[in-house]
């Protein structure tokens, strides 16, 4: 049995097929953890969703900002953007089945492997959040997405503020900060105030900001956080963070990390597997 973490697929089903063939993936034996942005900008988002739905419990998926955008467009909350490639879902006969399945997916997943915790999110984690708190807060949004009230939530989901987490937040403000952290975060201040305009690599941080994973004394420093979302960052392999968005949709690679526990007192064993991707869009389009 193998466990694989996979970066942003973004509708690139042919690349996903090549990667799974390279892994010799078997849904009866192995488990995939997809780190969000399953759809959009690539050529066949519907095929990606149908494939993952067919794998059942062997595919455990996170929601990214593009996945939430799909839900918002489908519900009439947002208009499609010029470079969206969501019609294969929006115009499909099985559209409602795909959208329902997407609403059941997670915003954070935690696994305990040997002597270390692996926390998986699409984008980032607030410096003040522990892994346990991250899972609990993600669960608040997941519950709303799965409820009859999800349409009301989508109407209130968008916006950059509040910029900083506060335990006293309630209602739409609370849920919005959770969503923005887990699906959009790259840079923040040491106090956790988020900035969303900058999308470059770590050297492009605005004054007073730093990558969320470099905040001193963040509460998840003693676990390993795996995430996608940040293609200009690329593959990053540290004991505390694993970054797996390697720009498949831009003509980079689609990456999978095989993770294997080595025993209660031993570190993990990992292996990075990548396949080259056809460029579906050019950065900046």
Q: 107-112: long-range contacts at Cβ-Cβ below 8 A with a sequence spacing of 24 or more?
A: 107/62, 107/63, 107/138, 107/141, 107/142, 107/178, 107/179, 107/182, 107/183, 108/62, 108/134, 108/135, 108/137, 108/138, 108/182, 109/33, 109/60, 109/62, 109/135, 110/134, 110/135, 111/3
Domain locations in the chain as residue ranges: 3-276
Please say whether the beta carbons of 71 and 103 come within 8 A. yes
- Just give the CATH number of 3-276: 3.60.21.10
What is the pLDDT, as a whole number, of residue 284? Answer: 58
Share of the chain above pLDDT 70, in %: 98
User: pLDDT tens for residues 228-282?
Assistant: 999 999 999 999 999 999 999 999 999 999 998 776 666 688 999 999 999 998 8
User: pLDDT tens for residues 18-39?
Assistant: 999 999 999 999 999 999 999 9
Stretch 67-89: mean pLDDT, rounded?
A: 97
User: pLDDT tens for residues 190-216?
Assistant: 999 999 999 989 989 999 999 999 999
* pLDDT surpasses 90 at 113: no
Q: In DSSP terms, which residues pair with 22 in a beta bridge?
A: none
pTM of full prediction above 0.95: yes
Mean predicted lDDT score pLDDT of the chain: 95
Question: CA-CA-CA-CA torsion for 86, 25, 114, 220, nearest 10 degrees?
Answer: -20
What is the pLDDT, as a whole number, of residue 36? Answer: 98
* pLDDT surpasses 60 at 285: no
* pLDDT surpasses 90 at 108: yes
User: pLDDT tens for residues 38-67?
Assistant: 999 999 999 999 999 999 999 999 999 999
What is the pLDDT, as a whole number, of residue 111? Answer: 95
């Amino acid at each position: 049995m193998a466990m694989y973490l996979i970066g942003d697929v973004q509708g690139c089903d042919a690349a996903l097929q090549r990667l799974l063939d390279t892994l010799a993936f078997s849904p009866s034996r192995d488990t995939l953890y997809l780190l969000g942005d399953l759809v959009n900008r690539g050529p066949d988002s519907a095929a990606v969703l149908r494939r993952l739905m067919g794998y059942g419990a062997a595919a455990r998926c996170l929601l990214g900002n593009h996945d939430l955008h799909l839900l918002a467009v489908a519900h009439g909350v947002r208009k499609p953007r010029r470079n969206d490639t969501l019609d294969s879902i929006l115009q499909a006969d099985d559209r409602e089945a795909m959208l329902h399945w997407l609403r059941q997916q997670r915003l954070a997943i935690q696994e305990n492997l040997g002597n270390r915790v692996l926390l998986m999110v699409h984008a980032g984690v607030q410096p003040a959040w522990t892994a346990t708190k991250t899972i609990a807060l993600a669960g608040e949004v997941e519950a709303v997405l799965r409820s009859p009230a999800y349409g009301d939530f989508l109407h209130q989901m968008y916006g950059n503020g509040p910029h900083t987490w506060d335990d006293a937040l309630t209602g739409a403000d609370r849920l919005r900060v959770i969503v923005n952290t887990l699906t959009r975060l790259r840079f923040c201040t040491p106090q956790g105030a988020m900035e969303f305009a900058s999308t470059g690599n770590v050297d492009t941080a605005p004054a007073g900001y730093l990558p969320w994973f470099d905040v001193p004394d963040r509460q998840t420093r003693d676990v390993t956080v795996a995430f996608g979302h940040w293609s200009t960052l690329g593959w990053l392999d540290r004991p505390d963070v694993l970054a797996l968005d390697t720009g498949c949709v831009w003509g980079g690679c689609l990456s999978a990390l095989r993770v294997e526990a080595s025993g209660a007192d031993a570190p993990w064993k990992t292996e990075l597997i990548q396949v080259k991707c056809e460029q579906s869009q050019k950065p900046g389009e």
